Structure 1
């Protein structure tokens, strides 16, 4: 008989927080079933999750992440009466989606889960209205060429390496990824983490083939952090906030990254868009985001024309 576990029992088995279990379920990385009014994870569902993490497999990418070719199927979204925002789940985007309905002039919002590259690609082809992008303004302009853009600054946060507590492998920089005793948990192409990694490797003249685990991709900071916490990998790149959900991890910052919300300038004064800008610029949004995450919100809400 297939046994069912509570969220706390799953957390105990994976040695993570119960809130992280709910986060994995929310992101679709861990399947669950509803029995009555209770959420449960079956033995089979847990085994599938563990198998995917253990292999750090591209099968997880196929299941949870849709490549850019699938964007052709998203045209119907633009016939909705609301706004479509692309972006993978993040504390900043989640807070915006929670607070936006109470802002005067807001419209219903549908989130399309895409990483930075695919979100900007979709904005260029007018398949989404707004795109979350963790990238430089120069990169953003190059990915949406010939279009007048407006960038709303979300926040700044540190990106770095996830390692086990006290860093037993003594991982310090990108050159350590080539060591024979290190397995890396990588992110999918188009994500800001992958862009950072590939640029650093090129600048340091390090071949990706020298890194064990480079070709195996996961689709969120939570999944790569879980791989390190669970012992399936020795390190991964991600934001510091995700590491807090795994008591067994230490975070080693590498650089600061800025998250923007990008839209076509021609739409800035259209219905619904101003409510988005007003929500992000509000003191309540900035204070709540900073308290929840520790993010730098000193420039949150700033408008930049590209």
Structure 2
């Protein structure tokens, strides 16, 4: 009988951290299966990984002169038993991942936690199957050129500033970021918040060097909101839904952004991808999403090509 291991058991066998096991699975180096909501690695899959590691070590020099695309395709995640969806923490994406198991044609799903830019980049190099991205269709097309893409609208949501309750420093807009008494909590490069900020600064002719805290990068809206709530910063840019988790904060709306799922068009007709599209378009999903987050779901489930 083919024995099945948990991630921790694999980590113990290989004498590595449990998080490293998950990284190996995300990169496609270690195949896995999903039992319920838990990842499992069979003895055969573990043996294949160990054999592959030996081969990689013996031929490492041959990779030194390969182009980047070849290196990335070594990690192609189609060898996994399900779909790899990239995306950072998002109530909309979390709800989708929770709903998918109820669809009869669903495949096991592994979330790869990457921001918008890195997710689209990984989709281009076929390291993920679907990228969750908060970006305009024009930006998506520019990052994944020459490949027919299908885009599914997930939701629209407000983005704005997190400030202390009652806005004691009277912050009104992006120009206030340059004030000497203001410390900003920034997001990492490649995130949709950082892209919005940097574009606005450029169009407003505001130098990033004039903003205290601009170089201090955090990796989620929750972390920037927490920095403001905890007094480490005076302002951050993020989505409205997160601000509701912090009673110490007020939210100042700036704009509305869209969240999409992006995939190669050739894959849309396959069962796992169809399950994703049909789940998003279903009335129960739209209703749950709207009730739980307050997001605009008027375009949820709409599909278009770029």
Instruction: Give the TM interval when normalised to the shorter protein.
Output: 0.7 to 0.9
Deviations 1:106-151 (A, max 9, x none): 1000000000000000000000000000000000000000110000
Q: CA deviation at 1:73?
A: 9.4
Which runs of 5 or more residues in structure 2 are unaligned? 1-67
**TM-score, scaled to structure 2:** 0.76
For structure 1, which runs of at least 5 residues remain unmatched after alignment?
1-67
Listed as ranges, the matches of 1:148-159 within 5 Å are 148-159=148-159
Distance in 2 (CA, whole Å) between partners of 1:106 and 1:204 is 46
Distance 1:235 1:131, change over 3 A: same
Cα distance, 1:74 vs structure 2: 8.2
- Report if aligned partners of 2:73, 2:125 keep a CA contact under 8 Å in 1: no
SS of residue paired to 1:75: coil
Contact 1:185 1:218 in 2 (8 A): yes
Which structure's relative contact order is higher, taking Cα pairs within 8 Å and 6+ residues apart? 1
Alignment partner, residue 60 of structure 1: none
Q: Distance in 2 between matches of 1:209 and 1:73?
A: 38
> Conserved in 2, the CA contact under 8 Å of 1:85 and 1:111?
yes
1:76 deviation in Å?
A: 5.5
Retained in 2: the 8 A contact 1:74–1:127?
A: no
Aligned to 1:146: 146
The match for 2:114 is 114
Q: Normalised by the size of structure 1, how large is the TM-score?
A: 0.76
- Partner Cα distance (1:103, 1:93) in 2: 16
**Cα 1:287–1:74 shift into 2, 3 Å:** farther
Give the CA deviation at 1:72: 4.3
Shift of 1:270: 1.4
Q: Distance in 2 between matches of 1:182 and 1:189?
A: 21
Structure 2 residue aligned with 1:42: none
Output aligned runs, 1:162-201, within 5 Å.
162-201=162-201
**Count of matched residue pairs:** 238
Query: Matched residues in 2 for 1:132 and 1:289: separation?
Result: 16
Report the alpha carbon displacement of residue 75 of structure 1 after superposing the two structures with TM. Answer: 1.4
Contact (CA 8 Å) 1:165, 1:248: kept in 2 or not? yes
Residue of structure 2 in register with 1:256 after alignment: 256
Counterpart of 1:155 in 2: which secondary structure? Answer: strand
Q: Which runs of 4+ in 1 moved over 2 A?
A: 71-74
1:234-274: per-residue Cα shift (whole Å, max 9, x none)?
00000000000000100000000000000000100012000
Aligned equivalents of 2:227, 2:297: Cα separation in 1: 30
Secondary structure at the counterpart of residue 272 of structure 1: helix
1:160 touches 1:240 (CA, 8 Å); kept in 2? Answer: yes
CA contact (8 A) 1:164 1:229 kept: yes
CA RMSD of aligned residues (A): 1.6
- Alpha-carbon distance between aligned partners in 1 of 2:89 and 2:184, rounded to the nearest angstrom: 22
Flag the structure with larger Rg.
2
Query: Which structure 2 residues correspond to residues 197-212 of structure 1 after superposition, within 5 A?
Result: 197-212=197-212
Confirm or deny that 1:89 pairs with 2:92: no
What do the CA deviations read for 1:62-89 (whole angstroms, capped 9, x no partner)? xxxxxx99x9498163311100000001
Distance 2:74 2:165 in 1: 42
Q: State the alpha-carbon separation in 2 of the partners of residues 73 and 105 from structure 1.
A: 27
8 Å CA contact 2:132, 2:260 repeated in 1: yes
Aligned to 2:277: 277
Provide the rounded CA distance (Å) in 2 between the counterparts of 1:191 and 1:102. Answer: 30
